[in-house]
Structure 1
Amino acid sequence: MPSYNSLSLPPDALEAYATQAAGLDMNAVRATATTLVNLVLTDDSAYIDTLPDPVQVELLTPLAMLSEALQDRAADPVVIAAIRAVKGSAHNVLTKCPPEMRELIESLPDET
């Protein structure tokens, strides 16, 4: 599984993510992201197995990257970048996600 470290973040993007993070309650953002990760990436894969194939294909890697960033207590701009990866990947499959998963993804911050 790719690491969040594999996200290519040019300096101007990191600056934009830092600016966005500074305007957010990052504790609440991290809590919502953690709830999403914990919902989907369970140890027994029970939840993942219920997801439609397109959702699994699009979201498992970015969610794993977000999970790793959260577990590593990565800097806020990196967490925002991982969230953007999740939201970008979810764009075409969001309507296929279960309601709770969809609501959590939608509640994560958008690009500003």
Structure 2
Amino acid sequence: MTLQEKKISRKLAPQSSARMVETIYGCKWSLTVYQLLKAGVNRPGEMVRQVEGLSTKVLNQCLKRNVEFGILDKHVFNELPPRVEYKVTPFGEKFLAILDQLEALQNDLDAL
């Protein structure tokens, strides 16, 4: 078989999405943040109060990374004292659905 006869090229892993998944799973608080958002807790101060061991500094790093990836949207209100809320973007909804599928796959593997 010559090179010209080959029809399928080598498939490579998607770099950006694989990096996102690795980064999110690498941050031990991201999945907790998603749980909080799903429960309606969308303000950073309330998130810190709800989760034992979560510091403001680490939470802000986690939230910033999620905003950079486009998973979360940050809304800053023009008021005093300052108020910030986070919500999941439409892209984030797709991403979280993939994370749910990965969790289901892990549960299947654990059951074997």
Q: Compute the TM-score of the two structures, normalised by the length of structure 2.
A: 0.29
Q: Which has the higher strand share?
A: 2
Q: Which has the higher helix share?
A: 1
Q: Compute the TM-score of the two structures, normalised by the length of structure 1.
A: 0.29
By relative contact order (CA 8 Å, sep 6+), the higher-ranking structure is 1
